[in-house]
Amino acid sequence: MSAMCQSVRDCEWVKGKMVGSGSFGSVHLAMNKSTGGLFVVKSARSGTGREALNNEAKILKALKPSPYIVQCLGTKEDRGGNLNVFMEYMAGGSLADVSHKFGGSLHEEVVRVYTREILQGLKHLHQHGIVHCDLKCKNVLLGSSGNIKLADFGCAKRVKDLNNDRGGLANSLLCVGGTPLWMAPEVLRNEMLGFGADIWSLGCTVIEMATGRPPWGVVEGSNPMASVLRIAHGDVVPHFPSHISKEGLDFLSMCLERNADKRCSAEELLSHPFVSRNKQYASSPTCVLEIHNFEDTYESEGHEGTSLGSSGNWITVRSG
């Protein structure tokens, strides 16, 4: 990947099929014509989409490299006026895609592993003063070896930038993006933005992984206004999955604490038994292939794409 990082900005490349889209623009698979290496290119022409892509590129370029953060390989404006941001290719797609392919939800053993790696990514961001602001399964990517990386930093904010401009803080908060059903109460009330906002979103993401549904039981795309008002001004938290372990329930209660000042940090949560107690999780934080005694709860027939088959203490990942 390092050789590609040095050459992708100025290389000749060919655009492949669209692999995603959003309010910012489109995402296409791309190939470096001189090396055959794969990457993805995010493109936007103008408006908020271009601003979001610019923000994402700035945030990622300023960060020290991390195995838990997707890598930006460069930016370039094409002749048509599109801003192109070249990004590392993650073959497994988003956790939302993975969940859909494996029956709609993920086994708790896998949720524990993924949650630990998300926490590692959040710890890295927070140590650099950055709040992701839009953590959810769609914005967490899976590599072909099972490694997890945080992605989609178009809404990310530097806390020091907000604090250094106290007069503009309210306006800055009004510009905070994100997905309402995953956002913390204090953010929806336009009161504050801190690292705890990502921890609340992490709790919502764990629920999403465990159930295959958005938090608060609202289907994404429907009118969420009633739930948004409940999140912002009520005294409730999302419904915890009934099938999750006691450790999982305790972990969720620490993430989904309505008082932002009482939420644990990412570093503190890395010591929680939900992600650290069993050796099978603590010894393999970067690769789902190292999970021992995995129980395949889904039949391989009828599921397209990647399939899992056990071999001893390993999970073999094959492309179907």
pLDDT, one tens digit per residue, over 240-253 is: 999 999 999 999 99
Residues identified as active-site: 134
pLDDT reported for residue 153: 95
DSSP one-letter string for 5-62: HHHTTTS-EEEEEEEEEETTEEEEEEEETTT--EEEEEEE-SHHHHHHHHHHHHHHHH
pLDDT, one tens digit per residue, over 84-98 is: 999 999 999 999 999
pLDDT more than 90, % of the chain:
62
Rounded to an integer, the average pLDDT of 259-281 is: 87
pLDDT reported for residue 81: 84
Q: Which CATH superfamily is domain 93-290 in?
A: Transferase(Phosphotransferase) domain 1 (1.10.510.10)
pLDDT reported for residue 164: 60
Q: What is the mean pLDDT of the chain?
A: 82
Q: What residue ranges of the chain are covered by domains with CATH 1.10.510.10?
A: 93-290
pLDDT, one tens digit per residue, over 39-96 is: 999 999 888 889 999 999 999 999 999 999 999 999 998 888 889 999 999 999 999 9
Cα→Cα distances 253→218, 250, 292, Å: 20, 5, 27
Question: Is the CB of residue 149 less than 8 Å from the CB of residue 121?
Answer: yes
Question: Is the CB of residue 289 less than 8 Å from the CB of residue 315?
Answer: yes
Cα→Cα distances 235→147, 201, 259, Å: 36, 17, 10
Q: What residue ranges of the chain are covered by domains with CATH 3.30.200.20?
A: 2-87
CATH class of 2-87: alpha beta
β-pair type (83-87, 38-44)? antiparallel
- 311 pLDDT band (50/70/90 cuts)? very low
